[in-house]
Every structure is written in C-alpha cells, then in structure tokens.
C-alpha cells in the first residue's frame, strides 16, 4: 500500500533590490527625453541648455563607509564627483552654475535627490538595475527622462552579435544565409519604443 508523502516547502522572504548591488557599475548615457526643456525650467540660459543636451555622460556610484560618491565623466567637460551622506543636506552646483541645497535618500535600488531651487522643489530619481540606469527629473510638474546603459551590458550585446555573425558565416551553406542583421539595432529599437511609452 502506497503512503501519501507530505510535501514540504519553505517560505523565503522576498528579496528586494538594493542600491549596494549596483555600486561601481559604469552607466553610459544613451538617450534623453525633454532634458533641454527641463534645463529651461531650471532657469538655465538657452545656449547653455543646447550645449548641455549634446554632452555625453558616464555615471558611476561608489561607496566609502557611510559616504556615497556619484562620479560623472563628460565628453566635453571636466569630470565631477559629488560626495554625500544619506539624509544630510549638502550644497551642490547644478547646470548653469547655480548653487542649491540638496538631500539624498535611498529606497531599495533608487537614489532620490531633492533640491531646493529658489523655493521650488526639484526631484531627481535614479533607478539602478544591473543593465540600466533610469533618471527621472521633475520640477513644477514638468518631467524629463535620461536613459543610461551599463557599459558591461553594451559590451555583452556587441560580443553576442559578433559570435552569432561568425557562427552563421561559418555555416551559411548549411543554413542558406547570405548575411545576418546585427541584433544590436533590434535591441536598441525595442528599448526606444519602451522608453517612449514610459515617458508619455
């Protein structure tokens, strides 16, 4: 006679994303939506807005004890490092040269920055993932987005593209393939479509 076996399982707490899991990862800017218009909302001169919108940036978040370092390198500007502690007010310079009071908070994998610009609140949310960094900036109900991709992720896409193309080239007689389009453009097209939907 068969005996019923009791099934047992263990409930584990949900693992929420943490900011510390995304430290020391360089993210390169790949797309901006309404960034130039956002700078105008800050009161930045139009010529500075146009120049800033064309600058490419790479961002890395580091941590030393209880201090965070937000390091940014630019294509046409000197690199900058912003040092801060969570919950402590600091003074920082924003595009256009203005100095503002700002406070950083951390929630899961998000770094939330709140600035006081002449009595107006500016909120900058940075959401870190292994492959992407999404930056959302808001003032007076106006919102803009900047999309970054981890450099390691971009490299892996390029490596996979080369590997697949090499495979098909070696076996094109069996597969009757003359050429294969790179997958990077397809991935980029999908990402742009998703980004536009999230910005509406």
What superfamily would CATH give domain 19-152?
Answer: Calycin beta-barrel core domain (2.40.128.20)
Tens digit of each residue's pLDDT (9 = 90 or more) over 72-83: 999 888 999 999
Residue found under tokens 């600091």: 90
Which residue spans of the chain are classified as CATH 2.40.128.20?
19-152
Q: What share of the chain is helix, strand, coil (3-state, %, to 5)?
A: 30, 40, 30
Range of lowest pLDDT (62-66, 96-100, 129-133, 173-177):
173-177
Q: In this structure, how many other beta carbons lie within 10 angstroms of the beta carbon of residue 152? A: 13
C-alpha–C-alpha distance, residues 100 and 82, integer Å: 13
* Percentage above 70 pLDDT, the chain: 69
Tens digit of each residue's pLDDT (9 = 90 or more) over 31-66: 999 999 999 999 999 999 999 989 999 999 999 889
Classify strands 80-84 and 90-93 as parallel, antiparallel or unpaired: unpaired
Task: Tell me what pLDDT residue 96 has.
Answer: 83
């Amino acid at each position: 006679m068969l005996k019923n076996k009791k099934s047992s399982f263990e409930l584990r707490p949900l693992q929420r994303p943490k900011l510390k899991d995304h430290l020391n990862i360089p993210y390169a800017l790949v797309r901006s939506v309404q960034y130039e218009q956002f700078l105008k909302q800050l009161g930045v001169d139009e010529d500075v807005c146009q120049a800033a919108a064309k600058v490419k940036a790479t961002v890395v978040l580091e941590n030393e004890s209880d201090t965070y370092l937000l390091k940014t390198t630019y294509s046409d500007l000197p690199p900058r490092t912003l040092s801060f502690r969570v919950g402590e007010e600091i003074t920082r310079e924003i595009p256009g040269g203005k100095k503002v009071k700002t406070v950083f908070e951390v929630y899961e994998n998000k770094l939330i920055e709140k600035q006081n610009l002449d009595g107006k609140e500016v909120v900058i949310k940075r959401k870190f993932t292994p492959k992407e960094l999404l930056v959302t900036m808001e003032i007076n109900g106006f919102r803009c987005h900047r999309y970054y991709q981890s450099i390691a992720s971009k490299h892996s896409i390029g490596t996979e593209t080369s590997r697949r193309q090499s495979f098909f080239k070696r076996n094109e007689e069996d597969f009757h393939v003359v050429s294969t389009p790179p997958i990077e453009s397809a991935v980029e097209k999908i990402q742009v479509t998703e980004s536009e939907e999230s910005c509406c």
